[in-house]
Amino acid sequence: MVSLERVIDRAREYALLARLDRPVGNLLLLWPMLWAFWIAAEGFPDPLALAVFCAGVLVMRAAGCVINDFADRNIDRHVKRTHNRPLTAGRVSSKEALVLFVVLALIAFGLVLLMNRLTILLAFVGIVLAATYPFMKRYTHLPQVHLGAAFGWAVPMAFAAQTDSLPPIAWLVFVAAVLWATIYDTQYAMVDRDDDLKIGVKSTAILFGEHDRLIIGILQVLMLICLVLIGRRAELSAIYYVGVASAAALFAYQQFLIRDRSREGCFQASLNNTKVGALVFLGIVFHYAYA
């Protein structure tokens, strides 16, 4: 008979494997999805769709973390930041990780079955993007862009769930989400760049090299342009642009944080993006609440 202590221990390790102790990733996933819902609904979205998507994002992010650690189980041991993860450290087996991934993916798919046909069809693309992302760093220097597509896929799905259509603005918000993820995940990859170079793992941080800060700056400007275009197309008021301007100020601060490319500075810059997402969302919400 399995003891209660054993059950608690396994649950703790599974929670760590799914990064339930690190909610920052959830926020980075949630913000673009929330932007999309409020714009699609021109205000507060359908409560059921919003609840399903919030739960689905949390579950799929956990599933993504599990499959990522499975794919990187022989790589993470060589990286200072990841060498003590449950799978790499041997506290969770590969079989357990795969079972946990399948269970989480099935829960997420069960949630999306509550939505309309278009949303369900889009979910298949989302599953493929999430499942293939962890393997991209072996074949391309652009895994951060793939991550952006995986994270941002909740945007067209949100428009589909709310309006049963995919208007042009949905793809504009999607592009903004992809650019944003490329920004913050490149900053995150800068933390591991030395370790990744030693073991042969690819990333945009390695691809950009000494031009990393400049290219991140260009991506930040492009994202801000996207946000302005979104505001114009959705006819958002000045209060939205206050949120965009505040996001621009945080981007400038992130450039300061990564000025010397220190591990801590790059890590803090990446984390700072949760505030960027929140400010853009507040601008959208306040527009529909008070404009």
Please state the pTM of the whole predicted model: 0.91
Query: Are residues 198 and 139 in contact, defined by beta-carbon separation less than 8 angstroms?
Result: no
For the chain, the farthest-separated pair of C-alpha atoms sits apart, in whole angstroms, at 63
Q: What is the pLDDT along the chain (291 residues), one digit of tens a residue?
A: 667 777 788 788 878 888 887 888 889 999 999 999 999 999 999 999 999 999 998 998 888 888 888 877 777 676 767 777 777 877 888 888 888 888 998 999 899 999 999 999 999 998 889 888 878 877 888 889 998 999 899 999 999 999 999 999 999 999 999 999 999 999 988 988 887 787 788 889 999 999 999 999 999 999 999 999 999 999 999 999 999 999 999 999 999 999 999 999 999 999 999 999 999 999 999 999 987
Give the per-residue pLDDT at 105.
87
Q: What is the DSSP string of 64-115?
A: HHHHHHHHTTTTGGGSTTTTTSTTTTTSS-HHHHHHHHHHHHHHHHHHHTTS
Give the per-residue pLDDT at 266.
93
- C-alpha 266/C-alpha 205 separation (Å) is 11
Give the per-residue pLDDT at 78.
64
Give the per-residue pLDDT at 76.
67
Q: Which residue has the tokens 């795969």?
A: 98
CA dist 206 to 24, 107, 187, 203, Å? 24, 36, 11, 5
Taking the CA atoms of residue 143, residue 144, residue 150 and residue 155 in that order, the dihedral angle to the nearest 10 degrees is -150
Give the per-residue pLDDT at 218.
97
Residue 59: closest CA among 112, 136, 129, 124: 112
Residue 59 tokens read as 């579950």
